[in-house]
Amino acid sequence: MKTCFFHVFAILTLLAGISPASADPDLQISEPWIREAPPTARVLAGYLTLLNTGDSTITVTAISSPDFEGAEIHRTVIEDGVARMLPVNQLEIPVSGQLTLEPGGLHLMLFDPRRPLAEGGSATLTIHRSNGSNLTTTAPVIRKTGEDHPHHHH
């Protein structure tokens, strides 16, 4: 049943004619990206920044992707020195505010890619608002090493 649901969802998305980067007058997406993972990885992490350019608070109820079997918004918290991830049910972006999903904080967990995703590729992300409108963006897959230890070239 789960597979069926996602199939129907993917078809509906296609029927709706949503282009890779649809527009929303109140919500802007910047710097979407997905961290490259080994080909056998069943979970990838995605990041982006959401900017509210409208005149009322924006509530994001979910972020999904037709390129994955499932997606969840998580928050990383440190408890007793151990990093844990907690599911986040919704995101609120205040007027003129922005919210960034980034390594070590809020992030998108993307489960079971439907096709190989390596650096140079990309996946579609769909942002679902509480007012029923959806916004899609294309997130490139980027290879990055340790989150806190960027590569230095000498």
Residue 95 sits at φ, ψ, to 5 deg, of -55, 130
- Are the C-beta atoms of residues 28 and 145 closer than 8 Å to each other? no
Whole-angstrom distance, CA of residue 140 vs CA of residue 4? 27
Q: Label residues 135-145 b or e (16+ Cβ within 10 Å = b).
A: bbbebebeeee
Q: Which is nearer to Cu ion, 52 or 125 (CB)?
A: 125
CB of 85 to Cu ion, least distance (A): 4
Q: Which of 13, 109, 122, 140 binds Cu ion (CB under 5 A)?
A: 109
CB of 33 to Cu ion, least distance (A): 15
CB of 19 to Cu ion, least distance (A): 28
Q: Which is nearer to Cu ion, 21 or 85 (CB)?
A: 85
Which chain residues interact with Cu ion by CB under 5 A?
74, 85, 109
